[in-house]
């Protein structure tokens, strides 16, 4: 069984207004789930608009991440309120928590991404973290959300850093799926990989213009936010679990194990993982194009002000056995790193990180 996409998608400048009649048909007693102060006003608006339609909307916030503590607390709130749906309005962690909770309780989930940082509004997948943001596991859900509302006016209000992060995460789709799945003899998977290549090209062309231009009449911005929030999700939907993540996400998951004073966004960490994956491909798979890809990505990532080293992520690889911890987690049994078509050892991870960090210090 494969769930390719949300049942209904509203997209564009008035997506929320257009979605309202559909949502009022679907739910009478929803719980609006959110998290950050940045999105408080938007969630208030969503709640107000629903109440005007005589919908008895209640609200709850995550305190931490998409973690078991928050998940069980919100489940209790839903049971107490007898909510008949979850409206998850926020970034990736909120969307993941909303989808997971709705599935556990067998009620529909409506996702309203409030930034372009992620394709979590689309996918049938939730990542579970600890309270401190350390990756634990991803959980495949039975289905994509019932309704996805991708309102451009809402997304305009998000900090530009979230868009840069979404671009890095969406770029990884091509580099990860093409290396793990290029030999899979399944037309749909191959077509999904090709969509991810077109998606990458679009981001290389439009990414910088999207981040630094105006919103109004900026087709680069529109194309880029939809690439990050919708097309990236579609690739996962069509490609399914075979269209896999690889080293970039495995290294992301390992980096989150190191707790740093400043928190970084998912895509910001994936971007560093992606550069390291390409170095691994060069080192272990004799991929001559990998160095070219690194150079090409570095130009864009620097234009977008994205971190490109572990040092930029606030991690000193020479302290606290950080390097060993990252190498251990990256190479653990269940890690996606093993989807690469060549063997990777802890020693390789240590070597590639050290080389990369030293090289960047010299630049």
Task: Decide if 281 contacts 338 (C-beta within 8 A).
Answer: no
Verify binding: residue 176, Zn ion, rule CB under 5 A.
no
Whichever of 55 and 265 has its CB closer to Zn ion, that residue is 265
Phi and psi dihedrals of 225, rounded to 5? -65, -35
Minimum CB separation of residue 40 from Zn ion in Å reads 25
58-61 and 147-151 as β-strands: parallel, antiparallel, unpaired? Answer: unpaired
The H or E element containing residue 81 is helix 68-81
Instruction: Please work out the total of residues on this chain that contact Zn ion, with binding judged by CB under 5 A.
Output: 1
Judged by beta carbon, residue 256 or residue 309, the one nearer Zn ion is 256
CB 26 within 8 A of CB 85: yes
Q: Which residue is nearest to Zn ion (CB)?
A: 169
* Inter-helix orientation angle 160-181/232-239, to 10°: 30
**Nearest approach, Cβ of residue 266 and Zn ion (Å):** 6
**Is position 282 an interface residue for Zn ion (rule: CB under 5 A)?**
no
**Interhelix angle for 160-181 vs 247-255, to 10°?**
130
Nearer of residues 107 and 167 to Zn ion, judged by Cβ: 167
Distances in Å between the Cα of 357 and the Cα atoms of 164, 349, 352, 354, 360 are: 22, 12, 9, 5, 5
- Closest separation in Å from C-beta 248 to Zn ion: 8
CB 29 → Zn ion: shortest distance, Å? 32
Taking CB under 5 A as the rule, does residue 96 contact Zn ion? Answer: no
By beta-carbon proximity to Zn ion, the closer residue of 140 and 354 is 140
Nearer to Zn ion, 103 or 169 (CB): 169
Judged by CB under 5 A, does residue 336 bind Zn ion? no
357 binds Zn ion (CB under 5 A): no
Is the Cβ of residue 109 or residue 168 nearer to Zn ion in the bound state?
A: 168
Smallest separation, CB 167 to Zn ion (Å): 12
The contacts of residue 251 (CB under 8 Å, 6+ apart) are: 272, 273, 276, 277, 326, 330, 337, 349
The minimum distance between CB 151 and Zn ion, in angstroms, equals: 22
Q: Which of residues 43 and 200 has its CB atom nearest to Zn ion in the complex?
A: 200
Residue 206 engages Zn ion in binding (rule: CB under 5 A): no
User: Footprint of Zn ion on residues 154-173 (CB under 5 A)?
Assistant: 169
Q: Is the dihedral of CA 196, 198, 204, 206 positive or negative?
A: negative
Q: What is the DSSP letter of 137?
A: E
Instruction: Summarize as ranges the residues that interact with Zn ion (CB under 5 A).
Output: 169
């Amino acid at each position: 069984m494969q769930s390719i996409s949300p049942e209904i998608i509203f997209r564009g400048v008035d997506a929320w207004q257009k979605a309202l009649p559909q949502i009022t048909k679907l739910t009478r007693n929803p719980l609006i789930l959110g998290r950050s102060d940045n999105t408080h006003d938007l969630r208030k608006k969503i709640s107000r608009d629903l109440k005007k339609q005589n919908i008895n909307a209640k609200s709850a916030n995550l305190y931490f991440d998409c973690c078991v503590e928050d998940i069980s607390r919100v489940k209790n709130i839903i049971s107490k309120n007898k909510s008949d749906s979850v409206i998850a309005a926020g970034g990736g962690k909120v969307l993941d928590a909303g989808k997971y909770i709705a599935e556990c309780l067998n009620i529909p989930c409506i996702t309203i991404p409030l930034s372009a940082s992620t394709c979590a509004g689309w996918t049938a997948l939730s990542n579970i973290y600890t309270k401190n943001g350390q990756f634990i596991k991803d959980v495949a859900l039975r289905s994509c959300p019932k309704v996805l509302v991708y309102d451009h006016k809402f997304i305009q209000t998000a900090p530009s850093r979230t868009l840069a992060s979404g671009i890095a995460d969406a770029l990884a789709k091509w580099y990860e799926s093409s290396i793990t799945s290029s030999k899979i003899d399944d037309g749909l998977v191959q077509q999904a990989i090709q969509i991810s290549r077109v998606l990458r090209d679009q981001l290389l062309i439009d990414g910088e213009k999207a981040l630094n231009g105006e919103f109004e009449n900026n087709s680069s911005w529109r194309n880029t936010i939809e690439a990050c929030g919708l097309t990236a999700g579609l690739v996962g939907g069509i490609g399914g679990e075979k269209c896999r993540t690889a080293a970039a996400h495995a290294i992301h998951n390992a980096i989150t194990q190191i707790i740093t004073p400043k928190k970084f966004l998912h895509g910001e960490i994936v971007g560093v993982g992606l550069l390291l994956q390409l170095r691994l491909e060069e080192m272990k798979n004799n991929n001559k194009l990998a160095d070219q890809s690194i150079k090409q990505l570095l130009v864009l990532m620097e234009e977008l002000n994205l971190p490109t080293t572990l040092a930029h992520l606030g991690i000193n690889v020479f302290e606290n056995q950080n390097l060993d911890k990252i190498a251990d987690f990256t190479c653990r049994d269940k890690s996606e790193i093993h989807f690469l078509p060549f063997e990777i050892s802890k020693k390789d991870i240590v070597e590639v990180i050290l080389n990369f960090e030293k090289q960047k210090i010299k630049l």
